[in-house]
Structures are given as C-alpha cells and as structure tokens.
Amino acid sequence: MTQARPMRADARRNYERLLKVAAEAFAEHGENASLDDIAKRAGVGSGTLYRHFPTRQALLEAAYVDRIEALGARADELAKRLPAGEALAEWLYELAVGTIQVRGMKALLGSAVTDGGAAALTTCGNVVKGAVARLVLAAQAEGALREDVEPIEVLRLAHGVASAAELAGAGETEIRRYLGLLEQGLRGAGGTGRH
C-alpha cells in the first residue's frame, strides 16, 4: 500500500486558498460558479485547481465537508436530547434550511438521494445517509415512524421539501409546516409509526 505524500507548503496554501475562494464563489453564485473564475480569484491557474479538484463535485464536497460533518454530528446531538421522532423532525428541518441557505449545498446533497453509483459514494453523501439512517431507525423503534419507510425515502422527501420551499420563496415557518405535513404522512394511520 502506498501512502500519499504530504503536500508541499505552497501546494497546501494553494489548496486552502482554493477552498476559501470556492466557498465564497458558491455562496455568491451557487453550484454553477465559474471554476476558471475561482482559480483566478485564488491566484492560481486552472490546472492547479483541476489537479486538486478534478471535478466540480469534488470541489463542492471539499468546500462543504466541514459543514456536512457538523450536520451529521448534529443528528447525534439531537438524538441524545430529544425523543427519536422529534430528533428526526428537527434534524430534517435543519437540513432543509441549510440546503436553502447555503447555495450549492442542494446540488451537493442531491447526490446523497441517488440510489448508488460514484456520485452517491462521497464523504458528504455518506455522512448525510448515515445520519438519516440512525434517526429513522430510532424513530421507527420508538413507534414515531412507519416501519415500512426507508431512510433514503425520508432523505429524498426532505430534499423535495427544501426544493419546493425554495421555489415558493418560503421561509423557515413554511418549511416547518411542509415538514410537519410530511411527518404526518410518514407516521401513518392513527398517528403512530406502526403500520
């Protein structure tokens, strides 16, 4: 097994500068920000950008991985202090709000709602899928969620709620309402998770 060589100091500086500029560009222009512009603003050539980040998806993931990992940790925090059904609902709300507020994150998380393939096998996708799986299984065990609901289905529905809320120009209050309606449907007949 070969070990990756550590980056030279100048390569590390270029990498960090590219990430900082990319996060700013994605915040300003969304996931379709110009990669050539990002390289130019970071003071490097396009070749340097592509050497570090061969695809737009790789750059998006690197720019948002810390935020996504914090979201995964947040799922565990909520699970420790709230009943399982409430923890799932609150986490889905935070996920939906973050997806709308952080431009570019919706495209990044879109890969997490696919069935598989290389796009789904990203660090960010795995963190989100793992978090939702833990929360869904706990909510099902508590009886707060139908037993026939798959974690990926919940993730897809939450992504759909975020997309619908964004299209409607909805705020956080409307997102809570949309997620509440979704939660009622996921609970099933009689308001219990048993189905």
Stretch 33-41: mean pLDDT, rounded? 93
Task: Return the pLDDT at 12.
Answer: 84
For domain 64-191, the CATH class is mainly alpha
CATH number for the domain running over 8-54? 1.10.10.60
Residue intervals of the chain classified under CATH 1.10.357.10 are 64-191
pTM value? 0.79
Distance from C-alpha of 113 to C-alpha of 28, rounded to nearest angstrom:
25
Q: Is the pLDDT of residue 165 over 80?
A: yes
Residue intervals of the chain classified under CATH 1.10.10.60 are 8-54
- Using only C-alpha atoms, the chain has a radius of gyration, in whole angstroms, of 19
| pLDDT tens column, 101-152 | 777 777 777 766 765 544 445 788 889 999 999 999 999 999 999 999 999 9
Query: Virtual CA dihedral for 161, 164, 170, 176, nearest 10 degrees?
Result: -20
